[in-house]
Amino acid sequence: MHFLDQAKIFIKSGWGGPGAVSFRREKYEEYGGPDGGNGGKGGDIIFEAVQGLNTLIDFRYTQHFKAQRGTPGMGKNRYGAGGKDLIIQVPVGTQILSDPKPIEGSEDEDGIPDYEDQDILADFTEVGQRVTFLRGGDGGRGNMSYKTSTNRAPRQHGTGWPGQEMWVWLRLKLLADVGLVGMPNAGKSTLINQVTNTKAKVGAYAFTTTKPQLGVVLHKDREFVLADIPGLIAGAAEGVGIGDRFLGHIERCRVLLHLIDATVDDPVEAFQIVTDELAAYGEGLDEKPQIVALNKGDLLGPELMEDIAEQLRDQVGVDDVFIISGATGDGVGKLLDAILPILGEARAAARQEAQDDEDGTWSPL
């Protein structure tokens, strides 16, 4: 299945059904009075986060979503049925954002304007979460409701209120426990293949991975989700190599696993480039718990790998550097052992934060 993390769609709730103009006509009651019922309410547009989806690819082929219109009212005081709600299923981690408008007078020499910042309108972080995004229009009144003491036979009726419509952007930010970051060709795909059942593409060239990959790690009877993010380069936080989109996928990771290719000319510089991009992107990425692993130990040997690890400890202040080989699995078990307690602490902190939110100690309002 192809991975897509952004999509623009058009959504429209249903119109309300028109009210009816009708008069009761029965034997011996020629002037029975009005009995036109009201129209039904239009269907709502509802978004729901569901399990089993991890891409927005479906929205590439279907971009217009319209809820059902309410049924017209009928005679004999019969109200129209409400239109069916349209439920749009999205992956957990999806955000709904406003469609940015161009800023008037901001055009450059080529006539290209700047755009307003996008607002986050909804954020789906849990399976089953639902948001009624657009409400359907109310049904029109039937002529029965217009009857008064002076207007005994009204012929006016309501046509039904229009639904709401708008363009929105969907943006998917993967939800994972551990985010795997590093420079291109650091061996991230090889490692995720080693510890999960993921079949990520592996190649001896940069940018083999062009889309995020998810895998479930089972270690010592404990599970966690590992996300492989495409390689980051200098300027990624500003969008170079669409790195800003890749960085967005690790915003919600609890722990970062920073993988360094020991065979590059300057592993310390490689580490610093990725660290600087995490800080430049913001959103607290540079404050997340981070584990550093030096990869490709099978190519250099233990002594040289230890020398490089010592350089990292001395020059950038990394306390622990794990020496591993994603290809052979050497040192991977020890690395996973170190991840489990750090991840446990991060999960406990997240649960406590969620509990504080429920207790009302924090509010976005």
Considering the domain architecture, whether residues 140 and 205 belong to the same structural domain is answered as no
Q: Does the pLDDT value for residue 25 go beyond 50?
A: yes
Give the separation between CA 237 and CA 278, rounded to whole angstroms: 7
Domain extent for 60 = 1-172
- 139-198 pLDDT per residue, tens: 999 999 999 988 988 999 999 999 999 999 998 887 788 988 888 888 888 888 888 876
- 188-232 pLDDT per residue, tens: 888 888 888 766 444 443 444 456 777 888 888 888 888 888 767
Say if residues 110 and 122 touch (Cβ distance below 8 Å).
Answer: no
- Mean pLDDT, residues 254-268: 90
Q: Which among 24-33, 266-275, 354-363 has the top mean pLDDT?
A: 266-275
User: Of 107, 142, 172, which closes a domain?
Assistant: 172
Check residue 358 and give its pLDDT: 58
Residue 195, C-beta contacts closer than 8 angstroms, at least 6 positions apart:
215, 217, 219, 226, 332, 336
Give the separation between CA 6 and CA 1, rounded to whole angstroms: 15
Inside any domain, residue 63: yes
- Helix pair angle (188-195, 332-358), 10° resolution: 80
Q: Which candidate, 99, 96, 95, 139, places its Cα nearest to that of 116?
A: 99
Considering the domain architecture, whether residues 146 and 254 belong to the same structural domain is answered as no
Check residue 203 and give its pLDDT: 44
Residue 298, C-beta contacts closer than 8 angstroms, at least 6 positions apart:
325, 327, 328, 330
- 262-291 pLDDT per residue, tens: 988 889 998 998 888 888 887 788 888 899
CATH of the domain at 257: 3.40.50.300
Considering the domain architecture, whether residues 158 and 132 belong to the same structural domain is answered as yes
**Backbone conformation region of residue 283, classed left if phi is above 0, alpha if psi is from -120 to 50, else beta:** left
Check residue 234 and give its pLDDT: 59
Check residue 360 and give its pLDDT: 53
Q: Which candidate, 84, 80, 82, places its Cα nearest to that of 39?
A: 80
Inside any domain, residue 264: yes
Considering the domain architecture, whether residues 198 and 340 belong to the same structural domain is answered as yes
Give the separation between CA 336 and CA 191, rounded to whole angstroms: 11
Considering the domain architecture, whether residues 205 and 94 belong to the same structural domain is answered as no
User: Of 127, 157, 172, which closes a domain?
Assistant: 172
Considering the domain architecture, whether residues 148 and 14 belong to the same structural domain is answered as yes
Considering the domain architecture, whether residues 162 and 190 belong to the same structural domain is answered as no
CATH of the domain at 15: 2.70.210.12
Check residue 231 and give its pLDDT: 65
- 65-106 pLDDT per residue, tens: 999 999 999 999 999 999 999 999 998 889 999 988 888 777
Give the separation between CA 363 and CA 365, rounded to whole angstroms: 5
Query: With 0-12 CB in 10 A as exposed, 13-18 as middle and 19+ as buried, what is 363?
Result: exposed
Check residue 233 and give its pLDDT: 55
- 103-133 pLDDT per residue, tens: 877 777 777 777 778 888 999 988 899 999 9
Check residue 205 and give its pLDDT: 37
Considering the domain architecture, whether residues 133 and 197 belong to the same structural domain is answered as no
Check residue 208 and give its pLDDT: 45
Domains of the chain: total: 2
Check residue 354 and give its pLDDT: 61
